[in-house]
Amino acid sequence: TAGAAGAAGLVLGAAGGAATYAAAGEPSGGGDAPALATVGAGTVPFRGAHQAGITTPLQARGHVVAFDLAPGAGRKEAVALMRRWSAAAELLMAGRPVGDGDSGVARDAGPCSLTVTFGFGASFFDRTGLVARRPAQLEPLPAFSADRLDARRSNGDLWVQIGADDALVAFHALRVIQKEAGAAAKVRWQMNGFNRSPGATARPMTARNLMGQVDGTNNPKPTDPDFDRRIFVAAGGDQPWMTGGSYAVVRRIRMLLDDWEKLPLEKQERVIGRRKSDGAPLTGGTETTKPDLDKLGSDGKPVIPVDAHARISAPEQNGGAAMLRRPFSFHDGIGPDGTPDAGLLFICWQADPLRGFVPVQRKLDRGDALSAFIRHEASGLYAVPGGPADGEYVGQRLLE
């Protein structure tokens, strides 16, 4: 899912070639530091109207991690924690070491488009005495018939999404965030994901998922007139601290790849309603051609089947419900039954889950051709506040 953000040119710029470890006073390894390669130099700003990691193009590596506040920790500890995490994230995203005891794992690398994004789960507001500021949008997601959710790998008081185009840079950031949690919060669950590496294809295109499909084509695009309204919380809502923020729905979706891979190509394409080779709709054209949902084949049946995933999930079939899908693939080895524990860390962003994920998933749950090949195994919903202004830490408008 989600390559369209990249196609829309949201790359926030490969900043100059200066090795920022050296710039921070670290020895550069002798002599003049060589200019960083393009991938290393990619920098995403920490500050702005929105947090990084939402419209940022998909990165090659990702970690998502949820924390629970420690017993006894409340609002005061949460303030100190968000200050520490924000300070660390700003340094990390600039490619700079964090503190004297930096492990050096990211040494010699540039920022590699690292983003660190913070969110609050519903339980955070109970723990910090801020229930009056809990947005209605954090009401628990409804149960879906196909859910096989593991509570230990779901929800959590705090959520952090880390993405980078280098595995060591992403791991380094994860370790720093965990270390900076200190005694205030403990990891509840953590998941690792990946996407295609920059430069792996000759022509930049929408990402592929582990089923081999082009995934992310019909994402809302930042150039759409209603993009901001659909994805980000507008000013003037009942929780002013969420202005510029977004709600993240996170689902660990296992793919039943042995079953999927046995399906002949023609059937695979009917499950989605798009061609596997180039992502074009079965009604013809190229990847960006609008699917013709009314077109009938010579057998009198819709060319894009009635249960095709792309038909059922389309905004025009769901009262305009739309979300920005920005996932990572995952692979956690081979299970005891010999099948891969692999699939999609589905992450979608919207201004209101009740006008994004929820109605669409309800409909998919009732009869999507893809459902036979996937299993939702974990779930989370987080309020991700707007980006920090100069001098602010993330979440300051909520916590102070």
Which positions lie near ligand HEM, rule CB under 6 A? 1, 209, 211, 213, 215-218, 251, 253, 255, 272, 274, 279, 309-310, 313-315, 343-344, 346, 357, 360-361, 364, 370, 374
Given the residues 68, 215, 352, 368, the one annotated as active site: 215
The answer to whether the Cα torsion of 384, 387, 392, 393 is positive or negative is positive
Instruction: State the minimum distance, in angstroms, from the CB of residue 362 to ligand HEM.
Output: 8
The residue among 118 and 357 lying less far from ligand HEM, judged by its C-beta, is 357
The residue among 37 and 146 lying less far from ligand HEM, judged by its C-beta, is 146
C-beta contacts of 86-91 below 8 A and 24+ residues apart: 86/46, 86/118, 86/388, 86/392, 86/393, 86/394, 87/393, 88/116, 88/176, 88/177, 88/180, 89/46, 89/116, 89/118, 89/173, 89/177, 89/394, 90/46, 90/47
The residue among 128 and 329 lying less far from ligand HEM, judged by its C-beta, is 329
Instruction: State the minimum distance, in angstroms, from the CB of residue 273 to ligand HEM.
Output: 7
Instruction: State the minimum distance, in angstroms, from the CB of residue 197 to ligand HEM.
Output: 20
d(CA 85, CA 165) in angstroms, rounded, equals 21
Q: Within a 13 Å sphere around the CA of 199, how many CA atoms are in the beta-carbon half?
A: 6
Neighbours of 7 (CB within 10 A): 18
Verify whether residue 238 is a known catalytic residue.
no
- The residue number with the shortest CB distance to ligand HEM is 218
d(CA 304, CA 369) in angstroms, rounded, equals 12
d(CA 61, CA 67) in angstroms, rounded, equals 20
Instruction: State the minimum distance, in angstroms, from the CB of residue 341 to ligand HEM.
Output: 14
The residue among 51 and 371 lying less far from ligand HEM, judged by its C-beta, is 371
**55 contacts: CB under 8 Å, gap ≥ 6:** 5, 10, 222, 231, 324
The residue among 76 and 267 lying less far from ligand HEM, judged by its C-beta, is 267
The answer to whether the Cα torsion of 382, 383, 387, 390 is positive or negative is negative
Instruction: State the minimum distance, in angstroms, from the CB of residue 249 to ligand HEM.
Output: 8
Q: Which positions are catalytic?
A: 215
